[in-house]
Structure 1
Amino acid sequence: MKYVLVIPDGCADEPQDALGGKTPLQAAFLPHMDEVVSAGILGRTDTVPASMPSGSDVGTMSLFGYDPLVFHTGRAPLEAAAQGIELGPHDWAIRCNFVTIDKGNMASFTASQLPNEVGAELIGLLQEATADDPQWEFHQGVSYRNLLVYRAKDADDQPFDEGTTTIPPHDLTDQPVGQDLPSGKGSDLLLELMERSKKLFKKCKANQKRSDGNPPATQIWLWGQGSRPALTPFQEQFGKSGAVITAVDLLRGLGRLLGWDVIEVEGATGYTDTDYAAKGRAAIETLQNTDFVVVHVEATDEASHEGEVHEKIKALENIDQHIVGPVHEYLREQGDYRILVCPDHPTFLRTKTHSHGYVPFGICGTRVRPDQSNKYDEVSAGASNLLLPKGHQLMPFFFGTLTN
């Protein structure tokens, strides 16, 4: 039996005035996702517990069958694992975004997709400025996405705790940031580094006069802190080998921590210009040697963060045409299979932020008895009697003997 999970990140949404009261899923042309539902079942699940901030770190952990209330320690440790950064038992990892803040507002949580070569200079300046304290390590990622690691001296050297609160910068798009700065234990350390970065970034000529003509990164934004999580390997938990196809570090890291193969795809950008077809081809190739393949696409989430309704629809249609369609066709031809389509959380175009709430899932394949559904969208799922209140219930349900 072969299994596939396709994650159109953040695709669940609200009805849009610009779409005549339809959601993007309802407005998009999605014959292959609809086919999954028509041949199988449609339901709803809630991937993000109400007590936790909504994000892909929590949502995907739920989708993969792990209760985030038990296993989640923070977003940054997952991204550290993706970069091969080993965390000691008492170390902390922190997400370090390059951002552009203008007149107190979050003008760009990506610093307008800061070029990698400019990011390298900025990371060098940050590391040089903290050279007198070797417990701080800055690690360059891709574009605006970077990491900061705190190396603890011992178990008692813990600058942060569960009460340390930070806000993802993508949740503050076009909003004032003054009320959403780090707070709680250790926030003074984070705030000092953020403040110091403002002066450093002004010194970088390549940042101040960017070759792409965009405004400079004005500072770092620190968030998503956490210590190393202890996750039961997926093979041990579910008895299946796994692989993940993604352009996003946190999913790469989570995959590595679960013991999966991480498949790199040329042209996968983590943005709306990603190579959807290449991801579809990679999934088919990977299935030949793996029980379970996850295909994650960030484009739908990025479109929501920028409030671009038509870009979101375009991304959905690309996922449907170039990933769900060919992968489902291959699965049917090769033998017993199941395919699952489900986002990790809603991301509303209206607010440009991640949200809590139920998301639709569709499953079809071997021993899946079809229900009466024929459209994959939030409204159709809301009419279904199939409800999984906890997102981590979906994976064992997907692998189990399905009846309805």
Structure 2
Amino acid sequence: MKYAIVIPDGCADEPQESLGGKTPLEAANVPNMDAVAKAGVVGRADNVPAHLPAGSDVANLSLLGYSPLKYFSGRAPLEAAAQGIELGADDWAVRCNLVTIEDQIMKSFTAGQISSEEAKALLETAQTQLAGPGVEFHPGVSYRNLLIYRGQDRPAPFSMETRTTPPHDLSDKSVADGYPRGQGSDWLSDMMSRSVELFADHPVNKQRIADGKPPATNIWLWGLGCRPALTPFAELYGKTGKMITAVDLLRGLAALIGWDRIEVPGATGYTDTDYAAKGQYAINALDSTDVICVHVEATDEASHEGDIQEKIKSLEAIDGKIVGPLHEALKKHGDYRMIVLPDHPTFCRTKTHSHGFVPLTMCGNGIEADAFEAYHERNADTSSLSFDEGWKMMPYFLGV
């Protein structure tokens, strides 16, 4: 049996007045996702417990079959694993965005989709002039970077009780109430404040301003956590797996559960990603794994920008260039199961992640078709197939 998982990140949404009361998923032309629905079932899953943050870390952990109540230890450690950064028992990882803040308003939580090369140059300066003993800045992809605090000689000032705010939750909003709170918050806020002066006259920002691009005004620290301990997927479910993604969070999750990671040329983690290449690499991987998982960030990025039409465009690209070709390849392989579902809702109205159910559709051997013929939130909401604890979806899907 071959298993395929397609994750259109954050694609779940609410009805839009501009779409005549339809959600972006309802309005999109997604015949291949609808074909999965017609051949199988439509349902829903709630991947984020109400008391945990509605982030991709908790949501994807749950989606992949791991209870966040047991396994969640922060977002940044997952991204550290993606970069091969080893965390000791006393070490902490902190997500370090490069952002654009003007007049205390979060103008861009990505610093205008800053390039990885520009981010590296800024963080090199931060390392030499901002970091103290045991503090390491690690460039990642674009605005997604890390701060590592080595706590062997000096215990970290913060804890899991320290509260931080994801910068994408503050898009076009005041950051006044978004700074860290609780134990160790002064240390984090001080690092963020000191970076403002450090970056003000940086050559990278001078060039960006000259080019008409927003500068990276400072770092934004959030999502801190300590070393996680995840049981290997093969041990839990008896299946091997491979992950296709352009996002370090999913790369890290894959590494920690023992999945191979497939790097696809042209995969950007944005709406300009090479959808067709992702689809083809997934097809190529079917011979060498039990489970292939394709994660696409584009729908989430469009949501964070409040761009409904771009979200629809991304959904249609995922449908035509990933879901369709992969489904056809699975049929030729023999026994298979396929599922499509996002990790969490991301509303274009609020431009941020939300708690709540997401729609899913799955088909394949041993899955008896229901009466639904289209994949979208409205059908999912009326389905009898519901995973109130999202991590219980995976064993159902795998039939184990």
State the TM bucket, normalised to the shorter chain: over 0.9
1:122-169 deviation per Cα after TM superposition (whole angstroms, max 9, x unaligned): 1111101145x3210000112111100000126x82322121000000
| Correspondent of 1:193 among 188, 191, 194 | 191
1:237-276 matches, within 5 Å, as: 237-276=236-275
1:59-79 deviation per Cα after TM superposition (whole angstroms, max 9, x unaligned): 100010000111011110000
Aligned residue number for residue 109 of structure 1: 109
1:22-61 matches, within 5 Å, as: 22-61=22-61
Question: CA separation in 2, counterparts of 1:393 and 1:352?
Answer: 28
CA contact (8 A) 2:344 2:353 kept: yes
CA contact (8 A) 2:95 2:145 kept: yes
Question: CA separation in 2, counterparts of 1:103 and 1:399?
Answer: 50
Question: CA separation in 2, counterparts of 1:101 and 1:144?
Answer: 14
Question: CA separation in 2, counterparts of 1:262 and 1:386?
Answer: 31
Aligned-pair identity in percent equals 60
Between 171-180 and 204-213, report the one with greater CA deviation.
204-213
CA contact (8 A) 1:112 1:215 kept: yes
Aligned residue number for residue 285 of structure 1: 284
Q: Using the TM superposition, give the Cα deviation of residue 100 of structure 1 relative to its aligned residue in structure 2, in angstroms.
A: 0.2
Q: Using the TM superposition, give the Cα deviation of residue 203 of structure 1 relative to its aligned residue in structure 2, in angstroms.
A: 2.6
CA contact (8 A) 1:245 1:262 kept: yes
Q: Using the TM superposition, give the Cα deviation of residue 170 of structure 1 relative to its aligned residue in structure 2, in angstroms.
A: 0.6
Describe the SS at the equivalent of 1:147: strand
Aligned residue number for residue 74 of structure 1: 74
Question: CA separation in 2, counterparts of 1:160 and 1:397?
Answer: 38
Q: Using the TM superposition, give the Cα deviation of residue 212 of structure 1 relative to its aligned residue in structure 2, in angstroms.
A: 4.0
Aligned residue number for residue 314 of structure 2: 315
Aligned residue number for residue 141 of structure 1: 140
Question: CA separation in 2, counterparts of 1:285 and 1:316?
Answer: 22
Question: CA separation in 2, counterparts of 1:23 and 1:116?
Answer: 33
Aligned residue number for residue 85 of structure 2: 85
Question: CA separation in 2, counterparts of 1:208 and 1:199?
Answer: 13
Counterpart code for 1:175: K
Question: CA separation in 1, counterparts of 2:231 and 2:115?
Answer: 37
Counterpart code for 2:108: S
Between 385-394 and 157-166, report the one with greater CA deviation.
157-166
Aligned residue number for residue 10 of structure 2: 10
Query: CA RMSD, aligned part only?
Result: 1.1
CA contact (8 A) 1:4 1:293 kept: yes
Counterpart code for 1:365: G
Residue 356, structure 1, aligned to residue 355, structure 2: yes
1:310-362 deviation per Cα after TM superposition (whole angstroms, max 9, x unaligned): 00000000000000000000000110000010100000000000001101111
Aligned residue number for residue 381 of structure 1: 380
Aligned residue number for residue 181 of structure 2: 183
Question: CA separation in 2, counterparts of 1:378 and 1:324?
Answer: 18
CA contact (8 A) 1:121 1:204 kept: no
Residue 166, structure 1, aligned to residue 164, structure 2: yes
Counterpart code for 2:166: P
Q: Using the TM superposition, give the Cα deviation of residue 114 of structure 1 relative to its aligned residue in structure 2, in angstroms.
A: 1.1
CA contact (8 A) 2:234 2:240 kept: yes
Q: Using the TM superposition, give the Cα deviation of residue 121 of structure 1 relative to its aligned residue in structure 2, in angstroms.
A: 1.8
Describe the SS at the equivalent of 2:180: coil
Change (3 A) 1:114 1:48: same
Counterpart code for 1:277: A
Q: Using the TM superposition, give the Cα deviation of residue 118 of structure 1 relative to its aligned residue in structure 2, in angstroms.
A: 2.0
Q: Give the TM-score of the pair, scaled to structure 1.
A: 0.97
Aligned residue number for residue 235 of structure 2: 236
Between 210-219 and 322-331, report the one with greater CA deviation.
210-219
Aligned residue number for residue 370 of structure 1: 369
Counterpart code for 1:176: S
Describe the SS at the equivalent of 1:180: coil
Question: CA separation in 1, counterparts of 2:41 and 2:366?
Answer: 11
Counterpart code for 2:20: G
Counterpart code for 2:133: P
Equivalenced residues, count: 399
Question: CA separation in 1, counterparts of 2:226 and 2:110?
Answer: 24
CA contact (8 A) 1:75 1:95 kept: yes
Aligned residue number for residue 215 of structure 2: 216
CA contact (8 A) 2:122 2:204 kept: no
Counterpart code for 1:250: L
Task: Point out 4+ residue stretches in structure 1 off by more than 6 angstroms.
Answer: none
CA contact (8 A) 1:12 1:378 kept: yes
Describe the SS at the equivalent of 2:288: coil
Q: Using the TM superposition, give the Cα deviation of residue 209 of structure 1 relative to its aligned residue in structure 2, in angstroms.
A: 2.8
Unpaired stretches in structure 2, ≥5 consecutive residues:
none
Aligned residue number for residue 296 of structure 1: 295
Question: CA separation in 1, counterparts of 2:67 and 2:397?
Answer: 16
Q: Using the TM superposition, give the Cα deviation of residue 383 of structure 1 relative to its aligned residue in structure 2, in angstroms.
A: 1.2
Counterpart code for 1:290: T
Question: CA separation in 2, counterparts of 1:318 and 1:386?
Answer: 27
Question: CA separation in 2, counterparts of 1:212 and 1:146?
Answer: 23
CA contact (8 A) 2:54 2:344 kept: yes
Q: Using the TM superposition, give the Cα deviation of residue 116 of structure 1 relative to its aligned residue in structure 2, in angstroms.
A: 2.4
Counterpart code for 1:206: V
